[in-house]
Structures are given as C-alpha cells and as structure tokens.
Amino acid sequence: MKYKSQKVAYWFFAACMLLFSLQIVYGFIMAFAHMGFDGLHQIIPFNVARATHTNLLVMWMLLGFMGAAYFIIPEEADREIYWPRLAYVQLIAFVLVGVTAVIGFHFGWWEGRKFLEIPRPLDYLVVIDVLLFIANIGMTIWKGRRMTTTSMVLFFGLLMAALLYLPGMIDTNNQTTDSYLRWWVVHLWVEGVWELIMGGILAFLLVKLTGVDREIVEKWLYVIVGLTFLSGILGTGHHYYYIGTPRYWLIIGGVFSAMEPLAFLAMAIYGITMWRKAGRHHPNQIALLWTVGTCVMSFVGAGFLGFAHTLPQVNLYTHGTLVTAMHGHLAFWGAYAMLILAIISYSLPLMTGRKRYKGPTASLAFWASNIGMLAMTVAFGIAGVAQVTLERRMGLDFLDVQKEIQVHFLGLVIAASLFTVGAGAFIYDFIRYGMPNAEPTGSPLEDGDGDQDESSDAELAPEVAE
Amino acid sequence: MLSKSAAKAFFLIGTGISFLAFVGLTYDTFRQIPARTHADQITPEVARGKEIWDHKNCMGCHTIFGEGAYYAPELTKVMERRGEVFVRGMLRDPAAMYPGQRQMVQYDFTDAEIDDLVAFLTWIGHVDTNGFPADPPLRQHLAPAASADGRPLVFQQTCIACHSVGGAGGNVGPALDGVGTRRDADYLTRWLHDPSAVKPEARMPQLGLSDAQVTELVTYLGTLRTEH
Ligand code: HEM
Ligand code: HEM
Ligand SMILES: [Fe+2]
C-alpha cells in the first residue's frame, strides 16, 4: 500500500464479509424450504428470503468493486484519493441504505422485480451514492500523475454500471416492457459492464502478482472487453426470446449470446498464460490462486454453463427452472465473488502489514469454498435437469415434480455446508488480519509493478525467482 | 502480433457497432410491443393487478414469462391451465386449494383485488410469447390420459386439480369415478354451490361457481357411473 487513503478499502471489504455471511444464511433458509422444511414461512416467506439473498449478493459485489477501486485507483493514478472522507461517508451511506432495504423486505417494502427489489426511494439514494463514488475516483484519476488503461477500464465499467441502473427505474404497466428494461440492468451488468470492472481488477492483479509487462496485460484487456461487448450487448437477446418481444430476438440473441463464452474463454487463457509467464514468484500465492481461479471458474460458470442453456431451442424448456439457478450460482461465484475475494486476499496483507497468506486457513478457504460451490452446482443441475425433463418435457404437474427432486436439495445443503466452511475460513482469516495500519506501509511491503524497478520486492519475497 | 492500439480500436469499433445495432433493435421492439402484447387491453384493472403483483412480489416464488423464482408454478398460462374459478379460489385461500402442500402466502385479498389480479393474469396469458411455455413434447409417450370426452372446461381446469377420474388427476379430494351412482343431482347441486352447507366440516372449498357452471357439472357428474 503506497497511500494512506487506500485503507478505506479495508472497511468496504469488511462490509462485504458481513453481507456475504448474511447472504449464506438466507440461502440455507431457501434450500430448506425447497426440502419441505418451511417452518419460517410465517416470518420469512420464500419471496422475502429470496429478495434478501440476491440483494445482499448484489450489494456485497458493489461494495467489493468500490473497495477494489479505492485500493487500485490511487496506486494506478499515483496519488491519494481525492476526497478521502467522502469515501467513508459514501460507504456508511451505502451500508445504511442496504440494511434498510433488507429490513424493509421483511415488512413487504419492496418492488416485485427480480434482483431490483429495492424500493424506489432507496433506488435514488443508491444512485446518488454511487455517483459520489464515481466522482471521487474520477477526480483521483483526473488529478493523478498517470492515467493507465487499467484505471480507465475500471472507471468506465463503474460509471456505466451506475448509468445502466437508471433504465431499471422507468415505470410502465406493461409487463413486457418492464422485463425488457429490467434486463438492461441485470444482463448488461453481469454480461457487460461488470466484465469491464472484472477486466480492470484482473489486469491490476495480474500485473502485480505475475510481474508480466503491463503493455501485454493491457493489450489483452482490450481484446477481452472488446469480445465482451461485441457478444454481450446483442446477447441481451437471450432474455428476449419468450417475454412478448419480436421473434427475431431468437436468432439475434441466440447467435450473439452463443459467442459470449469467448470473452470468458479469453479471460481464462489470459489468466493462465500470465500465470505461467510469471517472471517471479510473488509471496502471496493464495491471492494468485484466487486470481487464476476466478479466470477459470468464470469460464465454467458463465461461459460453459451459460452456453448450455442459451440457445433458444434449449431455453424454451429450461427457461425459468432450476437450471437457471445452477448457472446463476457458479457464474456469480466464479466471475465476481472470487474476483472480490482475490483482491481482498491481495490487498489485506498490504493494508494490515500481516502475512497470513501462508497459513492453512487460507488454503482451506479456497478449496472448501470452490469444491463446495461446484458440488452445489451439480446439485442444482441434477434437480434442474430432472425438473426440465419431468415438468417441461413430459408435462407432469409442478408440485409433483418438486417432490421428486426434493432429495437433491439435501445434496444442495450438504454441498452448501462445505462451501460455508470455506467461506467461514475466509472470514476468519479476514478478522485475524486485524485492523489496517494507520500509515501507509510504504515500499517495503509494496510489490512491484510491471513497469517499475522491482528491487523493493526482495525484502518481502526472499523466494523471488528471478 | 496485435498491437495495443489495434486492440483498442477493435474494442471501440466493436462496441460502437453493437451499441448502435442494439439501439435500433430496441426501437423496433418498442414499436412492436403494443401489438404483440395487446397493450390496448391493459385496462385499469390489469394495471392495478400488475401493481398488486409487484407490490406483493409474487415473482419471489413464481415465474411469469419464465422470470422469477423456482419455488412455485409458472403462471404465464395459469388462466388457461386452471381456469378462473380455481385461480380465484387460490387467491382467496391458498391453503384450501392445496391443503398440506408447499405454502403460498395467505393474502386476504378483497374481491376487487382478486378481480384485478385475475384481469392481469388473463392479459398475461394472451401476450404472444413465441410459444413459451411449450407443450410438453414427450407427453404422448406417457400412458394415455383418461378420455376427456364431454368434460366441461371448468371440470378439466378446476376439479381435476383435486379429484381424479379414471386414475388421472389430483388426490386432494376423493376420486369422482362412480359419483353419479353415489349422489343424486340435487345433492351434487347443493354440494357444488357450497360444500359446507351440505356438510359443515367439508374440506372442499366453496369455489364460487356460477349457476350455469353448476348445471353443466352436475350433468357431467351424472354420467360418471360405476359399471355393474
Ligand atoms: C451457501 C449457501 C447457498 C445456498 C444454500 C443457496 C441457495 C439458493 C436457493 C435455494 C436459491 C433460490 C432458487 C429458487 O428460486 O428456487 C438461490 C438463489 C440465488 N443464489 Fe444462492 N445459495 C447459496 C449461496 C449463494 C452464493 C455464494 C451466491 C453467489 C455467489 C448465490 C447466488 C444466488 C443467485 C444469483 C440466485 C438467483 C438465481 C436465479 O434467479 O436464477 N447463492 N440460492
Ligand atoms: C458472469 C457472468 C454471468 C452471470 C453472473 C450470470 C448470471 C445469471 C443469472 C443470475 C441469471 C438469472 C437471471 C434472472 O432470471 O433474472 C442468468 C440467466 C441466464 N444466463 Fe447468465 N450469467 C452470466 C453469464 C452468462 C453467459 C456468458 C451466458 C451465455 C452464454 C449466460 C446465459 C444465460 C441465460 C440463457 C439465462 C436465462 C435463463 C433462463 O431462461 O431462465 N449467462 N444468468
Ligand atoms: Fe444474460
């Protein structure tokens, strides 16, 4: 950590850990309800649990991105955050709005639009808050000493994420229009601008952790985000097959969304190549593991499993079944959750001056959560395929089919328990790292940048390979 | 090899073209949506129904147009599948329609609210969704369903959810095979108007059937006789 103000990232990440743990609790509530144990139905009916689970997810992703930006941008721009106090205010405001929203869900204060359940007045607060954040990092870049591709990609990703939130707030009484615009937020986020954010954070991590030349990393960054938008924008059409929109979306959505996995494949190849090219052995191997892990798992969850149901012929039967839940979990986990855990793993030792990345809990966190999540994906997948076959293809009644597949939710709960062990280990480590240092830990703990002299690394990394 | 500026150009041009194409298609889609969704049929009831739908977050358990949650049945074609009588019953008292099953929220809607939701779901059912939800392609391989000859629509939609005939249908209520032998027309008429008036602790909900529907049903039930 070079700059004092970077440590605000710590508090963003701490909020992430809190919301992440709550999210898991609500996941279990739903998994049990699917198994027939809906004892909480009177207090927390399924729709409340679901809105809470997914909104907490989205909130901690956004907090993670903001934290990452506050950590990365000063370093890239070579200066302190422009308004360091504003960063704290903006964090507290965001958490307050988020907590209010989640509590409100329990009292029926919400909008019934999947993923965008946050009620309208709070929507405005979210937008204002995020715009303040954008202004803050924007000023930091503007007044900074350098303007790197990494920081620009990250900045524009965040800016467009904020702007795309707006169409989701347009009121309409036509369900088709409503759904059309909802996807501008949901799809164009996760399969568009969030990938830009991901690309930016990944480029930063790869430059830092592998020491590969910045020019090479950033060149491929352009290729990846180019592929993302080329396929992802028109790929929105894969949500416009069956909602009352014209038939041509079956072709356009089918063709372009089928190309979306290319961006994720490129990301996986890029991560692995940079890793193998690594000119030196960075001491924080666990951060590198999460970084390469996110490249690979995003391909599996988003690219491969997304492709599995994106063609209209397939989607006609899988649309709105547990197959979607299978893909949603691994995609969010692989692409965005792991990415945030990667930047946390990388930045915590630098912010706190402690090096817990050597310990066994760090490895446990990685392997248990990933194996657990893969097993959850399998459980959702089997339940989903059985549902599609029995209900959608053979025409059995919905509830009869649900009884047939109940047992797979036992599988889900077991897998989710393993996942929770991993997540718990990560959070335990996070807490054990302790508070961030008051002062910047300066160059001895700072690791080299591809375009800088790397002698400073030697102190932290006796095992430097070069 | 590819240079960084070429990569940047690829990104900018690709994004620009995709963006323009998307804007154009969106324009055309918005032009077509009114006709495809029969927007002229969005009456004040339908609009209010959508408001209730949003306000109660029904999408947090159900899917509509295949979007939502995977805990409860897909509702795009629910009016066609279950019919108005059943859906109204469901909105009045879900536990009576599916006793002992996975629970829906008991909403205590007023009759006006139920009218609005029914209007909304009816409108949804007429939107042109390019064939979603599809007819199950493998259904023909299953054992042929009992012949549905002469069944009134309301029987096929509503009663079959709880009763079976010829082994096909629900098992909440008793099988109705032979009911025409067991019960006379007068009993059936009174029963269908209000089961609890016939039998105070009756577990069949009052379905709010019209006189015409009851007459039609009683005639049909009379044909369900046990063979000797
Ligand atoms: C560890 C325990 C977890 C359990 C038991 C769990 C379980 C569930 C269940 C039962 C649903 C609802 C599916 C339905 O509508 O019927 C759901 C939805 C969802 N969960 Fe989780 N979840 C867990 C963790 C996570 C994590 C870590 C993530 C993200 C990385 C996540 C992301 C999602 C998403 C995106 C949805 C919405 C899926 C869709 O609409 O297709 N969940 N989860
Ligand atoms: C990181 C990237 C991705 C994430 C986080 C993600 C997440 C999700 C989520 C949460 C849903 C459920 C949305 C809803 O019903 O409201 C969904 C749906 C879908 N995703 Fe993705 N996805 C990603 C990438 C992809 C890619 C690359 C493809 C295609 C190749 C894809 C194909 C689909 C399809 C076809 C659906 C609709 C499923 C249905 O009809 O029910 N996704 N995705
Ligand atoms: Fe999508």
List the shell of residues around ion ligand 3, using CB closer than 5 Å.
Answer: A 187, 191
Tell whether the model's pLDDT for residue B51 goes beyond 60: yes
One fold for B35-126 and B141-221: yes
Query: Count of CB contacts below 8 A, A vs B?
Result: 206
For residue A296, which amino acid is it? V
CA A359/CA A100 separation, integer angstroms = 37
> Which pLDDT score is estimated for A54?
98
- Chain centroid to CA B57: how far? 17
CA A444/CA A404 separation, integer angstroms = 59
Q: Average pLDDT of A243-264?
A: 98
Out of B4, B19, B135, closest to residue A233 by CB: B19
Considering the domain boundaries, does residue A464 fall inside one? no
Atom of ligand 2 nearest to the CA of A335: 1
For residue B97, which amino acid is it? M
Q: Average pLDDT of A58-67?
A: 98
> Which pLDDT score is estimated for A446?
43
* Pocket of ligand 1 from Cβ distances under 6 Å: A 24, 27-28, 30-31, 34, 50, 53-54, 57, 324-325, 328-329, 332-333, 337, 412, 416, 419-420; B 69-71
Atom of ligand 1 nearest to the CA of A336: 30
The CA A239 to ligand 3 mean position distance, Å, reads: 6
User: Quick check: B141 and A394 CB within 8 A?
Assistant: yes
Tell whether the model's pLDDT for residue B46 goes beyond 70: yes
Out of A112, A179, A389, closest to residue B57 by CB: A112
**A244 touching B (Cβ < 8 Å):** yes
Atom of ligand 2 nearest to the CA of A336: 1
Q: What is the mean pLDDT of chain A?
A: 92
Q: A387: which residues sit within 8 A by CB, 6+ positions away?
A: A321, A322, A323, A401, A402, A405, B70
Interface of B with A in 62-81 (CB under 8 A): 63-74
Considering the domain boundaries, does residue A451 fall inside one? no
**A169 touching B (Cβ < 8 Å):** no
pLDDT in tens, B6-34: 999 999 999 999 999 999 999 999 999 99
User: Please, are residues A390 and A396 in contact by the beta-carbon 8 Å criterion?
Assistant: yes
pLDDT in tens, A201-247: 999 999 999 989 999 999 999 999 999 999 999 999 999 999 999 99
Instruction: From residue B136, give the alpha-carbon distance in Å to each of A34, A75, A248, B124.
Output: 24, 57, 24, 20
Band of residue A284 on the pLDDT scale cut at 50, 70, 90: very high
Domain that holds residue A359: 4-436
pLDDT in tens, A175-186: 999 999 999 999
Band of residue B145 on the pLDDT scale cut at 50, 70, 90: low
Residue A172 Ramachandran class (φ > 0 left, ψ -120 to 50 alpha, else beta): beta
Out of A30, A242, A394, closest to residue B130 by CB: A242
CA B112/CA B142 separation, integer angstroms = 41
Instruction: From residue A138, give the alpha-carbon distance in Å to each of A156, A195, A253, A291.
Output: 10, 19, 34, 26
pLDDT in tens, A14-26: 999 999 999 999 9
CA A56/CA A61 separation, integer angstroms = 8
* Six token digits for residue A75: 């370093």
> Which pLDDT score is estimated for B1?
73
CA-CA-CA-CA torsion sign (A29, A35, A37, A40): positive
Q: Which residue has the higher pLDDT, A282 or A452?
A: A282
pLDDT in tens, A115-163: 999 999 999 999 999 999 999 999 999 999 999 999 999 999 999 999 9
Instruction: Indicate which ligand has the atom closest to the C-alpha of A195.
Output: 2
Instruction: From residue B183, give the alpha-carbon distance in Å to each of A128, B219, B225.
Output: 68, 12, 10
Instruction: From residue A97, give the alpha-carbon distance in Å to each of A106, A129, A319, B98.
Output: 15, 10, 32, 38
Is the omega angle on the peptide bond into residue B133 within 30 degrees of 0, that is, cis?
A: yes
CA A166/CA A183 separation, integer angstroms = 12
- The alpha carbon of residue A111 is apart from the nearest alpha carbon of chain B, in Å, by 5
pLDDT in tens, A407-441: 999 999 999 999 999 999 999 999 999 999 877 65
* Six token digits for residue A336: 């965005």
| CATH fourth-level superfamily of B141-221 | Cytochrome c-like domain (1.10.760.10)
CA A152/CA A184 separation, integer angstroms = 22
Considering the domain boundaries, does residue A445 fall inside one? no
Instruction: Indicate which ligand has the atom closest to the C-alpha of A256.
Output: 2
Question: Where in chain B are the domains?
Answer: 35-126, 141-221
* Pocket of ligand 2 from Cβ distances under 6 Å: A 114-115, 186, 190-191, 238-239, 257, 260-261, 298, 302-303, 306-307, 309-310, 315, 319-320, 324, 327-328, 331-332, 335; B 66-67
Q: Average pLDDT of A320-326?
A: 98
CA angle A273, A279, A284 (to 5 degrees): 90
User: Please, are residues A101 and A119 in contact by the beta-carbon 8 Å criterion?
Assistant: yes
The secondary structure of residue A69, as a DSSP letter, is: H
E runs forming strands in B29-149: 63-64, 67-68
Matching residue, tokens 């508070």: A435
Out of A47, A245, A391, closest to residue B57 by CB: A47
User: Please, are residues B224 and B178 in contact by the beta-carbon 8 Å criterion?
Assistant: yes
User: Please, are residues A388 and B132 in contact by the beta-carbon 8 Å criterion?
Assistant: no
Helices in A165-247 by DSSP H: which ranges?
175-188, 194-210, 214-235
CA A197/CA A221 separation, integer angstroms = 11
Out of A113, A173, A398, closest to residue B59 by CB: A113
Determine the residue of A32, A47, A50, A53 to mutate for testing ligand 1's pocket, defined as the one with the most ligand atoms within 8 A of the Cβ atom. Answer: A53
User: Please, are residues A84 and A5 in contact by the beta-carbon 8 Å criterion?
Assistant: yes
Tell whether the model's pLDDT for residue A447 goes beyond 90: no
Instruction: Indicate which ligand has the atom closest to the C-alpha of A30.
Output: 1
Interface of B with A in 142-201 (CB under 8 A): 142, 170
**B8 touching A (Cβ < 8 Å):** yes
Q: What is the CATH number of the domain that holds A382?
A: 1.20.210.10
CA A357/CA A365 separation, integer angstroms = 11
CA B40/CA B37 separation, integer angstroms = 8
The CA B222 to ligand 3 mean position distance, Å, reads: 53
Matching residue, tokens 């259904």: B139
Share of chain A above pLDDT 90, in %: 89
Out of B11, B58, B136, closest to residue A226 by CB: B11
Band of residue A355 on the pLDDT scale cut at 50, 70, 90: confident
Band of residue B228 on the pLDDT scale cut at 50, 70, 90: low
Nearest CA to ligand 1 atom 35: A328
Across A181-185, A265-269, A455-459, least confident range: A455-459
Instruction: From residue A173, give the alpha-carbon distance in Å to each of A178, B47, B123, B128, B201.
Output: 7, 6, 12, 17, 43
> Which pLDDT score is estimated for A357?
86
User: Quick check: B65 and A175 CB within 8 A?
Assistant: yes
Tell whether the model's pLDDT for residue A359 goes beyond 90: no
User: Quick check: B66 and A243 CB within 8 A?
Assistant: yes
Return the CATH number of the domain spanning residue range B35-126.
1.10.760.10
CA-CA-CA-CA torsion sign (A59, A64, A69, A70): positive
Q: Name every chain B residue with its beta carbon within 8 A of the beta carbon of A389.
A: 138
The CA A325 to ligand 1 mean position distance, Å, reads: 7
CA B30/CA A246 separation, integer angstroms = 9
pLDDT in tens, A366-422: 999 999 999 999 999 999 999 999 999 999 999 999 999 999 999 999 999 999 999
By CA distance, what is A391's nearest residue in B? B136
Q: What is the mean pLDDT of chain B?
A: 93
Considering the domain boundaries, does residue A458 fall inside one? no
CA A7/CA A400 separation, integer angstroms = 53
pLDDT in tens, B192-211: 999 999 999 999 999 999 99
> Which pLDDT score is estimated for A441?
59
Give the count of domains, chain A: 1
Considering the domain boundaries, does residue A450 fall inside one? no
**B60 touching A (Cβ < 8 Å):** yes
* Six token digits for residue B81: 């599948």
- The alpha carbon of residue A435 is apart from the nearest alpha carbon of chain B, in Å, by 39
CA B191/CA B221 separation, integer angstroms = 12
Q: Name every chain B residue with its beta carbon within 8 A of the beta carbon of A328.
A: none
Which of A341, A178, A382, A141 shows the shortest CA–CA distance to B64? A178
Nearest CA to ligand 2 atom 40: A319
User: Quick check: B69 and A241 CB within 8 A?
Assistant: no
